[in-house]
């Protein structure tokens, strides 16, 4: 009796498998052809539609772009920007090509209406300006985001009305660089901006005053590694220049001099004492200061050069033979 019961179970299971298998009732062994567009399964022998409404499990990439060249696999819009009031969600109507898209006089029946507010449009233009400036001086995304947030805060505060948005964007980028610990000089920002240094400086001071924004004081060490790296100086020269600049500031040898000019003069002194010499013109081009500025700081530091160099520095040119100007 148990053997018969087991055989019956096997028969029921095989019957269920046959019933669940989709096949042509006239040609059970025939291969089925899937029509993905219609969602049908068709018998290859007689053309009978065996199954319909078949779900296509393949890729659903489709393109509605009118641009030629390459496949557009975009399924969604641009990334959402939380700084915009409309959350950056918008719909754009593509250009029509059929007769139903135009009226009798040839005008387009469906047009894009302005869905972006003027404030959001201002923010979008400023964000684009900040991104373009950052790309030109190789700034990371964290600085761009901080500058964007700062511009949004300034825009909402409405304390800089009448100032050019490009100048405000440049000032925000300058502040973001200092807040992130990778300061850039005003001249570097001006070089990638379309406004003057004076206008950026005014916006910088107004932002700090109106929004209680704090920035760390810049030091000679903030620029030393970047300047030395750009000049392809060795590690020993960079170490010596860092020591020279720090001691010159600590000993108050260069009062009233900017950290950039002190760093440039320290690099010049360290390089002249080594076998990897650089001219004042080469350093001035990298630091963004004038030759005479480096020369003035260098003359202040030279009488006490013996105190400024690190003790383990290997001199190629002795201190007494260093250039006098």
Q: What is the 3-state secondary structure (H, E, C) of 240-256?
A: HHHHHHHHHHHCCCCCC
Alpha helix positions (H), 67-140: 118-136
Share of the chain above pLDDT 70, in %: 74
Which of these, 121, 185, 175, lies nearest to 149 by C-alpha position?
Answer: 175
130 falls in which pLDDT band (50, 70, 90)? very high
Could you tell me if 260 and 223 are in contact, meaning their C-beta atoms sit under 8 angstroms apart?
yes
CA-CA distances (angstroms) from residue 71 to 64, 75, 77? 10, 12, 16
At 258-302, the pLDDT tens digits run 999 999 999 999 999 999 899 999 999 988 889 999 999 999 999
pTM: 0.64
Q: Are strands 32-35 and 40-43 parallel, antiparallel or unpaired?
A: antiparallel
- Report pLDDT for 161: 82
d(CA 189, CA 187): 5
DSSP H stretches of helix in the chain: 2-20, 118-136, 141-157, 165-179, 186-191, 197-210, 221-230, 235-250, 259-272, 280-287, 291-301, 305-308
Whether the predicted pLDDT of 210 surpasses 80:
yes
What is the predicted pLDDT for the residue at 280? 92
Which single residue is written with the structure tokens 């590694």? 225
61 or 157, higher pLDDT: 157
Query: What crossing angle do the helices spanning 235-250 and 291-301 adopt, rounded to 10°?
Result: 70
Model pLDDT, residue 64: 55
Do residues 278 and 205 make contact, with C-beta atoms less than 8 angstroms apart? no
C-alpha triplet 82, 83, 87: angle, nearest 5° = 50
Q: What is the pLDDT of residues 155-186, one digit of tens each?
A: 888 878 888 999 999 999 999 999 888 888 88
Nearest C-alpha neighbor of 65 from the set 56, 54, 74, 53: 74
**CA–CA separation, 231 and 191 (whole Å):** 19
| Mean pLDDT, rounded, for 245-257 | 91
Predicted local confidence at residue 215, as pLDDT: 80
Do residues 302 and 269 touch, judged by C-beta distance below 8 A? yes
In SS3 terms, 290-305 reads as: CHHHHHHHHHHHHHHH
Q: What integer pLDDT is reported at residue 15 of this predicted model? A: 45
The count of C-alpha atoms lying within 13 angstroms of the C-alpha of 300, restricted to the half-sphere facing its C-beta, is 21
Please give the pLDDT value at position 157.
Answer: 85
CB-based contact 36:23 (threshold 8 Å): no
Specify whether the backbone of 249 is left (phi greater than 0), alpha (psi in -120 to 50) or beta. alpha
Q: Which of 260, 276, 262 is nearest to 317 (CA)?
A: 276
């Amino acid at each position: 009796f148990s053997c018969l019961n087991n055989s019956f179970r096997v028969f029921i299971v095989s019957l269920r498998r046959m019933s669940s298998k989709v096949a042509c009732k006239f040609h059970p062994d025939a291969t089925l052809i899937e029509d993905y567009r219609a969602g049908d399964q068709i018998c290859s022998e007689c053309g009978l539609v065996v199954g319909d409404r078949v779900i296509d499990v393949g890729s659903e990439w489709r393109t509605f772009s009118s641009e030629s060249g390459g496949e557009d696999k975009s399924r969604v819009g641009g990334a959402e920007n939380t700084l915009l009031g409309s959350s950056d969600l918008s719909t754009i109507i593509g250009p029509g090509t059929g007769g139903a898209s135009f009226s009798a006089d040839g005008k387009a029946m469906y047009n894009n209406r302005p869905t972006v507010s003027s404030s959001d449009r201002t923010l979008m233009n400023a964000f684009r300006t900040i991104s373009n400036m950052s790309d030109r001086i190789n700034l990371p995304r964290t600085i761009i985001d901080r500058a964007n947030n700062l511009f949004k805060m300034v825009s909402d505060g409405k304390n800089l009305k009448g100032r050019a948005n490009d100048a405000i964007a440049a000032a925000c980028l300058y502040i973001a660089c200092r807040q992130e610990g990778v300061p850039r000089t005003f001249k570097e920002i001006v070089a990638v901006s379309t406004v003057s240094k004076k206008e950026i400086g005014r916006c910088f001071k107004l932002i700090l005053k109106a929004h209680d924004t704090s920035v760390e004081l810049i030091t000679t060490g903030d620029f030393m590694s970047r300047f030395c790296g750009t000049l392809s100086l060795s590690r020993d020269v960079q170490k010596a220049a860092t020591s020279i600049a720090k001691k010159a500031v600590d000993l108050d040898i260069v009062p009233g001099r900017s950290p950039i000019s002190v760093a440039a003069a320290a690099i010049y002194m360290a390089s002249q004492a080594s076998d990897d010499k650089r001219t004042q013109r080469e350093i001035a081009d990298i630091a963004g200061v004038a030759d005479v500025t480096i020369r003035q700081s260098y003359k202040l530091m030279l009488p006490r050069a013996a105190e400024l160099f690190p003790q383990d520095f290997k001199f190629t040119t002795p201190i007494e033979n260093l250039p006098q100007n």
